[in-house]
Amino acid sequence: MEKFIYGNFSYQYKLIKKDRKTLTLTITPEKEIIIKAPKDISDEKLEKFLKRKWSWMNKQLDFFTKVKREKYKRKFVSGESFYYLGRQYKLVVSKGNEDTVQLLKGVLKLTTSNSVKDIKNIEKILKNWFKIKAEAIFKERYQVMGMKFDYKNLPVLGLRKMSRRWGTFINKDKICLNPKLIHASKDCIDYVITHELCHVRYKNHNKMFWKFMEEKYPNWVKVKDKLEERYSFLV
């Protein structure tokens, strides 16, 4: 573990040096701070990066402290908020003749044929809705991003629950995305898809891979940072 002190702000973090071009910062729900950096990074550059990120880190740590404290109270009831394609929606639950979910001006309106107090059923309805949306939107974005590549055949796209990973390249025949990626914005979805499709040509994160990634998604560094900083608490 490394230690960083900036004014009254002090914390420990895990530093992982790898063959990569960028610096990334992740704070897990357990409030573990992880920094991935190029092998040859200088102490001066690392310190500048940390100073630039300290305000955001403070906010994230405070956020996870509150989430952890209130986690046991969390239920699928009216008033809670959920992310969908990068936007936050307030859940409103009501009784009806059938089970439905609708998006209405910042509201996630869920109608249940059971009791509005049946939390497990409400959770099941909402998670199923997110899954259906993920399958449809991932398929759409996969086809769009796949057109950027000259592959004769694209790998089959699947969903797979993963901890701390948004996507994974299985082999040239299959790529999987984390269903929770549906909560992130479309540019983040496009970035993950592009990243995994680049692995069809280059299995490892070597110089040729990053060059290929830059060619297919020029804005990838900015979007990657957005994904890790804004939505990392979702996985």
Q: Would you list the domain boundaries of the chain? A: 2-72, 81-234
Token pair, residue 195, equals 């990243």
pLDDT at 67: 62
pLDDT at 72: 38
pLDDT at 71: 46
The amino acid present at 177, given as its one-letter code, is: L
Q: Which helix (H) or strand (E) element contains residue 4?
A: strand 2-6
pLDDT at 54: 82
Please report, in tens digits, the pLDDT of each residue of the chain (235 residues total): 787 777 767 778 889 888 888 888 888 777 788 888 998 899 889 888 888 888 888 888 877 776 654 443 446 888 888 889 998 888 999 999 999 999 988 899 999 999 888 999 999 999 999 999 999 999 999 999 999 999 999 999 999 998 778 999 998 899 999 999 999 999 999 999 999 999 999 998 889 999 999 999 998 988 998 888 777 666 5
pLDDT at 148: 95
pLDDT at 233: 64
Q: Tokens 């560094």 map to which residue?
A: 221
Class of domain 81-234: alpha beta
**Of residues 135, 137, 196, 186, the one with CA closest to residue 165:** 196
Q: Tokens 């809705």 map to which residue?
A: 129
